[in-house]
Amino acid sequence: VAFKAMAEKMRVIVRCKPTKKEKLIHVEKNEFVLQRPKTNLRKQYPFERVVTEQETTPELYKKHLCDLVDHVLRGRSSSVIAFGAGETGKSFTTRGADGLVKSFGRDIFNRLRGDPNSMLSLSVLMSAITAPVQSNMTGRQITHEVLLDGLLPAGDVGDYRGGLHVREHPSKGFFVEGLSEVVIEKEEELEKFVESALTNCSTEDGRRTSGGKGAPLKVHCLFSFKVRRRDANGMVDTAELQIVDLAGYAREKKGGAQVARGGEKSGPVGEDIVLKAFLRITSSLEMNSSHIPFRDSKMTRILSKALGGQALCAVLTHIAMDNYEESEAVLMLATKFGCISFSGRMREGKKGSDAMGKKERIRQLCDQMGISSEGLKSTSICIELEASKELLELRELLAEVEAIGKNQEEWDLVTSCSDRFKAGEGTSQARLDRKVKAQGREEAEWQKAAGRSPAAGRQLCTRENVNGQVTEGHDMAQITSKLAQLRERKALQARR
């Protein structure tokens, strides 16, 4: 598969939220005019793409974002990031009844309908910012980012275990280990899993607004549609469409205090790790810095392809027409976003012979150079400065044949994992992002009276140790007895 490079600027779309209060911001020919109250100070911010208060979400999608479906089907990954202050309609645009998640999913599914060599899968990730906790070393209030699986049922308030982990593959980049991915084969499945994910995100977001002990400070949501297309050679081309709903942005004043909508101070203790990292990345991209801090948060690692120029990125900025300071800060950031340029890769055509032709060519090259082709791998060939063209061609062909096998294995693995998830096996196993639900009081008292620990005699496919790690195939009774022996030894050593 051949790719051609494309250079574009980051697509910035500004949407205005309707208001019944006095308007402090007016739109004149795609230009925002800000009038500071009780003064004659006016500021103008021009943008190419503006969504007025009268336009609906389907109109926004059809006018500014529906072309991303064509980019994804041609093999070019794309991302849509909803950004703005709190209560400006970001969740309504992305997760509403006519939101972008349902629109993108429906259009991609209809375009791939009936194609046996195409696969559409869905995965949902939630990034919860926990309540601040005081550090014993520095005395500062620290917040943590916890990644949750949006396709699995929501748990109780504050039952976060530590969340899913982000890993890095040498060729595929960052990915979330253990995140559920379901293959969409029917329209009913698309509606079912999308509605379930939207409900889980709304539940987690509702706990944030309700407050209470263990409630998250902020919640960011990421919906990912992956399109895999397999050609006659067995090569699988993967493109991803990410829809991100970032939590509300709060401007900062001197001293680091955050000011939320309405002027209410939230203080420096409740800083949002994801938004801080997102703004640092955009500032570094605008200044063409040599270092881009993608690793400052888990969510920005997943978005590194979109923010790093390997995918088409569109930032959907939301502003409130009745708030001057808040909207001015967001419009200034949107202007910075528009100055960022990136280059993506789009599939141009298919080249090369089929897998059988490549294997035959490998045998010919091996016979020509006197090398046995049995068990030969690309990593076993050492390339020197004076290497022949035949040796270089042999190594490239071996790498291509190995890639075909890996792609086919990935295709089968995603399909089998999706089938197990649909059968209910994914929800019955021990989860990595949330704690196991506590047992009832009567059951715990009965086990205590019987002289057994609550976990004794319980066979599990996974088990937990003291550090919250998960390992395969052990009995909890054996683990409990071993831990008791270790505690006795430590107590004996302390007495000595």
> Which are the contacts of 30, defined by CB distance < 8 A and separation ≥ 6?
46, 47, 48, 49, 50
Q: What is the pLDDT of residues 466-492, one digit of tens each?
A: 333 334 445 667 777 888 888 888 888
CA pair distance 124, 162, nearest whole angstrom:
17
pLDDT value of position 435: 67
CA pair distance 250, 278, nearest whole angstrom:
13
pLDDT value of position 81: 96
pLDDT of 256 over the 60 cut: no
Helix, strand, or coil here: 52? coil
CA pair distance 407, 413, nearest whole angstrom:
10
Tokens 């090369």 found at: 352
**Local structure of residue 294 (DSSP, 8 states):** G
Percent of the chain with pLDDT over 70: 79
For residue 332, what are its two tokens? Answer: 């200034």
Q: What is the pLDDT of residues 267-285, one digit of tens each?
A: 334 578 899 999 999 999 8
User: Judging by DSSP bridges, how do beta strands 78-84 and 236-245 pair with one another?
Assistant: parallel
Which among 15-24, 422-431, 438-447 has the top mean pLDDT?
Answer: 15-24
CA pair distance 226, 248, nearest whole angstrom:
27
pLDDT value of position 436: 59
pLDDT value of position 358: 75
pLDDT value of position 470: 38
pLDDT value of position 184: 94
**Local structure of residue 158 (DSSP, 8 states):** T
Q: What is the pLDDT of residues 429-444, one digit of tens each?
A: 566 677 655 544 444 4
**Local structure of residue 429 (DSSP, 8 states):** S
How many Cα atoms sit within 13 Å of 379 on the Cβ side? 2
CA pair distance 421, 149, nearest whole angstrom:
13
Q: Is 86 annotated as a binding residue?
A: yes
State the CB neighbour count (10 A cutoff) for residue 10: 22
pTM: 0.77
Q: How far, rounded to the nearest angstrom, does the alpha carbon of residue 240 sit from its chain's CA centroid?
A: 11
- Quick one: pLDDT band at residue 252, thresholds 50, 70, 90? low
With b for 16 or more beta-carbon neighbours within 10 A and e for fewer, the 319-351 pattern comes to bbbbbbbbbbbbbebbebbbebebebbebeeee
Superfamily of domain 8-252+269-342: Kinesin motor domain (3.40.850.10)
> Which are the contacts of 132, defined by CB distance < 8 A and separation ≥ 6?
141, 142, 143, 217, 269, 270
Which residues on adjacent β-strands are paired with residue 230? 236
Mean pLDDT of the chain: 79
State the CB neighbour count (10 A cutoff) for residue 190: 21
Q: Is 89 annotated as a binding residue?
A: yes
Tell me which amino acid residue 20 is.
K
CA pair distance 247, 220, nearest whole angstrom:
5
Q: Is 87 annotated as a binding residue?
A: yes
For residue 390, what are its two tokens? Answer: 């035949």
Q: Is 88 annotated as a binding residue?
A: yes
Q: Is 91 annotated as a binding residue?
A: yes
CA pair distance 494, 492, nearest whole angstrom:
5
pLDDT value of position 34: 86
What residue spans define the domains of the chain? Answer: 8-252+269-342, 352-373+389-447
Report whether 43 contacts 344 (CB < 8 A): no
- Quick one: pLDDT band at residue 446, thresholds 50, 70, 90? very low
Nearest CA among 90, 385, 412, 380 for reference residue 220: 90
pLDDT of 242 over the 50 cut: yes
pLDDT value of position 354: 57
**Local structure of residue 48 (DSSP, 8 states):** S
Tell me which amino acid residue 3 is.
F
